[in-house]
């Protein structure tokens, strides 16, 4: 498999929704370690069914940027690239997922999912500072 959903760290590969890092945003208390900026890509779909189609392509091993070009419904035309984003500048649900993800490449993406007012996002992070 070319990529994996965040939360599927080995194990039995069960989809329990753990990839939605935004669900764990409450509690915790301490400061989050890691960078203050992330180089992030996403695939935005208004409909759940379209998001599921995009996830199927990722699970088949298609590169993240190619899936973004085919499925994303936003203006991030460069393979879903949003560029470097500073903490506090993204929607809270999106940001929680982005900062929880490990870095990966478009060829072997590790992704997470978030639902915002804009729709369903599939998110990957290419770098942290």
- Look at residue 6 and tell me whether its pLDDT is greater than 60: no
pTM of the model: 0.75
Mean pLDDT of 16-21: 34
Alpha helices in the chain (DSSP H): 48-59, 64-71, 92-100
* Better-scored residue on pLDDT, 75 or 100: 100
pLDDT of residue 35: 73
Q: Which of 11-20, 34-43, 72-81 has the lowest mean pLDDT?
A: 11-20
Is the confidence at residue 99, as pLDDT, over 50? yes
Question: What sign does the dihedral 54-67-39-15 (CA atoms) show?
Answer: positive
Q: What is the pLDDT of residue 119?
A: 97
Residue 10 has pLDDT above 90, yes or no: no
Domains of the chain: 36-128 (3.10.50.40)
Is 50 exceeded by the pLDDT of residue 17? no
**Do residues 104 and 82 touch, judged by C-beta distance below 8 A?**
no
Predicted local distance difference test score (pLDDT) of residue 5 = 57
Span 98-126, mean pLDDT? Answer: 97
CA angle 60, 65, 68 (to 5 degrees): 85
Q: Rounded CA gap, 101 and 128, in Å?
A: 10
pLDDT at 41 over 80: yes
Backbone angles phi, psi at 29, to 5 degrees: 75, -55
């Amino acid at each position: 498999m070319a990529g994996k959903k965040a939360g599927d760290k080995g194990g039995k590969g069960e989809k329990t929704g753990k990839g939605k890092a935004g669900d764990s945003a409450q509690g915790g208390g301490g400061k989050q370690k890691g960078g203050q900026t992330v180089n992030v890509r996403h695939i935005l779909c208004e409909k759940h069914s379209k998001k599921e189609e995009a996830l199927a392509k990722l699970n088949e091993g298609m590169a993240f940027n190619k899936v973004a070009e085919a499925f994303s419904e936003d203006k991030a035309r460069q393979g879903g690239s949003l560029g470097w984003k500073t903490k506090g500048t993204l929607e809270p649900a999106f940001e929680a997922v982005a900062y929880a993800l490990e870095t990966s490449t478009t060829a072997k993406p590790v992704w997470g999912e978030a639902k915002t007012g804009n729709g369903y996002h599939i998110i990957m992070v290419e770098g942290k500072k």
